[in-house]
Structure 1
Amino acid sequence: MSTTERPRILVVGGGYVGLYAAKRILKKMRYAEATVTVVDPRSYMTYQPFLPEAAAGNISPRHVVVPLRRVLPKAEVLTGRVTTIDQDRKVATVSPLVGEAYELPFDYLIVALGAVSRTFPIPGLAEQGIGMKGVEEAIGLRNHVIEQLDKADSTTDEEVRRKALTFVFVGGGFAGAETIGEVEDMARDAAKQYSNVSRDDMRFLLVDVADKILPEVGPKLGEYGRKHLESRGVEVYLKTGMDSCIDGHVKLNNGVEVDSSTIVWTAGVKPNPVLSRYGLPLGPRGHVDTAATLQVQGTDYIWAAGDNAQVPDLVGRKNGNPNAWCPPNAQHALRQAKVLGDNVVSGMRGFPQKEYSHANKGAVAGLGLHKGVAMIVMGKMKIKLKGRLAWYAHRGYHGMAMPTFNRKIRVLADWTLGMFLKREVVSLGAIETPREEFYEAARPAPAPADAVKVPAAAEPKKTGAKAS
């Protein structure tokens, strides 16, 4: 960490908002006008819309993350967590990966912590559930699913086999519907390489407490998505919750019970709980309460945006909804970050703040290779697409939105190779415990069970006399 006499702009979080806001500030700022410091537990930003494709093996996991230090070479990037903020002293407490926590002074603050998985106190969920918020979870899910196919192919125990080939996904929004679509596609493709496993042996369940899936694309496309998944053998249970999943025994509140080794939880997100320790004004659901300028209410040196902020939706309010708020999605986060960056620079220079206003441009979702739904808003006209055309729209939009030219090219290369080469179906689960095999080889061998140590008193005494 460098020390400087220049004002410090502290960016807490390196996700969409943190990365793009820092990038925007560095672009607009004059030379040596301020120091930009980004603090995040990870040294990279994850492009979350591509996690389902990474879990299915369509995109290399390395290509859905963007290294912060490479994209922000003029910023100070610290790997750690901001645990508390003292607004009176303008000091943040940083807990690094190793070593003691330390205080970091700042002049301007950007809160961009994003969101975490929203969970409920369901028995067994913490032990059995798999999330889909990070690239590590996407890799883990892919390895886990293929390991279940390996297990089912090699076992003669029908109960073990049935449990391995049952996959439960909780949450029917973008994350849940896209993930089950991609994973089912991968499992169907992988089953062709197993002699004792077929798609008919597998059971996929999608569970949601709402009365429809994919609400972001509207009821008609959501209904199409549901029917499409059901046509592929996915059991969709709406207006249904999960009561428990202890030891993989899933109990739904509609009476359905199954044994499953794979329980994927994508039932929404919530603001990062650490916000409650920052002393900032929070909304009813834990979001930072901001004005339309993205300034935190009651302050003139703190800004917030993205999934952890409660930002007024000016377009929705002009259309007659006085309680409209910007939804937590990448479309708003990307655009809010640019306005936020401009406002921070304006705030440093004493210029007026600009209000954030953005009309929804629609939504796209992929449901596996060549399958998807899309709603594109052009003025007052809504264009609805489904099937292969929607899938092209999904890939086209997210391919363009992927940060950095480097990552755009790598993702495009993955897609291009996928057109000509078969999908790789191999589990690298050992990467989660890379030292296990070496440890087994290097640890001292245990003494033989039948080896009996002779007491010292019973050992024959050695003498210089020769035996006769």
Structure 2
Amino acid sequence: MPSPAAGARSPESLGSPRALPRVVVVGSGFAGFSVLRHLERLLPPDAAELIVVSPVDHLLYTSLLPQVATSEAEPRHLAVSVRAALRRTTLALGHVVKVDFRGRTITVRQPNAVHAQLRWDRLVLAPGAVTRTVDIPGLTDHALGLKNLAEAVYLRDHVLRQFEYADACEDPVVRRARCTFVIVGAGYTGTELAAQMVRFTRRAVGQYPRLTERDIRWILTDLAPRVLPELGEALSRRAARVLAGRGVDVRLRTSISEAGAGCVRFIDGESVATHTLVWCAGVAPSPLISTLGLPTQHGRLVVDARFQVPATADVFALGDAAAVPDVTRGCQPAGQTAQHAVRQGAVAARNVAASLGHGTAKPYRHRNLGFVVDLGGTAAVADPLGIPLSGVAAAAVTRGYHLWALPCLTNRTRVAADWLLDTLTPRQIVQLGFLPPAKSSINAAERIDIYHSGHS
């Protein structure tokens, strides 16, 4: 690898006189982070060298991204430092763009666009997911995503910028378009975002003298027959009532057929004038998976119940990018959720350690703990351990779950402080301007473009 800066250490320069086996984990998301945290506990210090390759230096707690978009949580409070939390792991910043299974090396595209090779003895593929897009004209050019901090902050800035334009506009038709916001996807992310953003925009509109709450229009659409189809019908109905009570226009069994700079067209032919389209219609495995030349299932890497990739030696995969068979569900692929990723990480770490002679391997068995959906304020729906809850009780369980799931005490404390301050002081509603519009498309913001340009 290139010569490191003064005071830094290149992963290739690390090691011990005994040349320890090197475990390389690709990705610092829920799955990769969990694997490394458990490997540090399972393996003695002299058993292996641990390296994580990631384009960022943190685990992002994506479950609270809607709260970043609504100014309820500070962006950095959702970022758990890899270096602080994983003390025995070396971080190599960059995107993995190529894997040589025979030569046991990976090619890393570093932040300065330099490519470097990194050797491995055990490889754990957990590159996560990106926003799933479909072939809808104009979608990738005009839709915004919600998969990382840059997208969440940009969405907040963009919405506030539409209010600025609307407040300065004399034409009521143009003003209406600027204050109309469309979200596609009524799953967890889209439903939470719609419910929370309508509260946020009602607060924000008070700063603009020529606008009122009546000018704001939020539309949530999905091909599914109900919101939150992953939950039971009773909780789905309760969430739908919250959305309706806040004035969200929920359109089910339909979606958009075209996106433009100033409007979206629905599949029934109706056009809605808007400058804001947020795409929350699911996730797709990291583009890295399609470059490996290995069998996939719906785009996810095929693995066995012990996370091993068939026809390769010493390669494991898990998380959103792997079709991990869940033996508790007839070996159907496990869901693409943070809960699955974290718990897969614990078992995968055990199996990687077993491959190095420490402990015994076992298959992944998932025990569903339930789901939580934060609808903002005291509204929420949840089914912890299968017990359906809504309202204040669900909101308390939801907040408690998020604080428990955050893997660092510092982040828990800061997020809890954000929530407390939000109840005691007026919310700060300002634009931060971190991400220029040219970089706001899903492909650019999530760096999908590097896999479309020959790894340039």
In the superposition, the TM-score normalised over structure 2's length comes to 0.90
What is aligned with 1:375? 383
Alignment of 1:343 with 2:339, yes or no, is no
Residues 16-165 of structure 1: pairs in structure 2 closer than 5 A: 16-98=30-112, 100-165=114-179
Query: What is the CA distance between 1:334 and its match in structure 2?
Result: 0.7
Alpha-carbon distance in structure 1 between the residues aligned to 2:21 and 2:244: 57
CA contact (8 A) 2:195 2:246 kept: no
What is aligned with 1:327? 335
Alpha-carbon distance in structure 1 between the residues aligned to 2:122 and 2:189: 34
What is aligned with 1:466? none
SS at match of 1:216: coil
What is aligned with 1:432? 435
Q: 1:406 is aligned with what amino acid?
A: T
1:334-392: CA deviation from partner (whole Å, max 9, x where unpaired): 11101111111111117531111122111110112111111122xxxx31111222111
Query: What is the CA distance between 1:85 and its match in structure 2?
Result: 1.0
1:422-462: CA deviation from partner (whole Å, max 9, x where unpaired): 11111223x3359xxxxxxxxxxxxxxxxxxxxxxxxxxxx
What is aligned with 1:205? 219
Query: What is the CA distance between 1:23 and its match in structure 2?
Result: 1.6
Of 288, 293, 296, the residue aligned with 2:309 is 296
What is aligned with 1:282? 296
What is aligned with 1:364? 372
Alpha-carbon distance in structure 1 between the residues aligned to 2:422 and 2:225: 35
RCO greater where, 1 or 2, for CA within 8 Å and sep 6 or more?
2
CA contact (8 A) 1:217 1:373 kept: no
Alpha-carbon distance in structure 1 between the residues aligned to 2:435 and 2:342: 32
Alpha-carbon distance in structure 2 between the residues aligned to 1:166 and 1:200: 11
Of 403, 409, 421, the residue aligned with 1:405 is 409
Identity %: 36
Q: 1:373 is aligned with what amino acid?
A: V
> Structure 1: any 5+ residue segments left out of the alignment?
318-322, 435-468
Of 324, 337, 362, the residue aligned with 1:311 is 324
Alpha-carbon distance in structure 2 between the residues aligned to 1:135 and 1:92: 27
CA contact (8 A) 2:144 2:277 kept: yes
1:173-218: CA deviation from partner (whole Å, max 9, x where unpaired): 0010001111111001112333221111111100101111112221
Work out which of the two has the higher radius of gyration on C-alpha atoms and give 1 or 2: 1
- Would you say how many aligned residue pairs link Structure 1 and Structure 2? 423
SS at match of 1:349: coil
Alpha-carbon distance in structure 2 between the residues aligned to 1:352 and 1:29: 13
CA contact (8 A) 1:128 1:248 kept: no
What is aligned with 2:6? none
Q: 1:131 is aligned with what amino acid?
A: G
SS at match of 2:304: coil
Alpha-carbon distance in structure 1 between the residues aligned to 2:431 and 2:291: 40
Q: 1:309 is aligned with what amino acid?
A: A
Alpha-carbon distance in structure 2 between the residues aligned to 1:187 and 1:350: 54
Q: 1:303 is aligned with what amino acid?
A: F
Of 391, 396, 406, the residue aligned with 1:392 is 396
1:260-282: CA deviation from partner (whole Å, max 9, x where unpaired): 11110000111112212223332
Of 419, 422, 428, the residue aligned with 1:418 is 422
Query: What is the CA distance between 1:77 and its match in structure 2?
Result: 0.5
Alpha-carbon distance in structure 2 between the residues aligned to 1:254 and 1:433: 34
SS at match of 2:381: strand
1:115-139: CA deviation from partner (whole Å, max 9, x where unpaired): 1111112122122111011011110
Alpha-carbon distance in structure 1 between the residues aligned to 2:197 and 2:20: 50
In the superposition, the TM-score normalised over structure 1's length comes to 0.87
Query: What is the CA distance between 1:58 and its match in structure 2?
Result: 0.7
CA contact (8 A) 2:150 2:435 kept: no
CA contact (8 A) 1:217 1:364 kept: no
Alpha-carbon distance in structure 1 between the residues aligned to 2:81 and 2:369: 28
1:215-258: CA deviation from partner (whole Å, max 9, x where unpaired): 22212211221222112111111110211111221100123311
RMSD: 1.6
Alpha-carbon distance in structure 2 between the residues aligned to 1:124 and 1:277: 26
Q: 1:235 is aligned with what amino acid?
A: D
Judge which range, 388-397 or 263-272, deviates more: 388-397
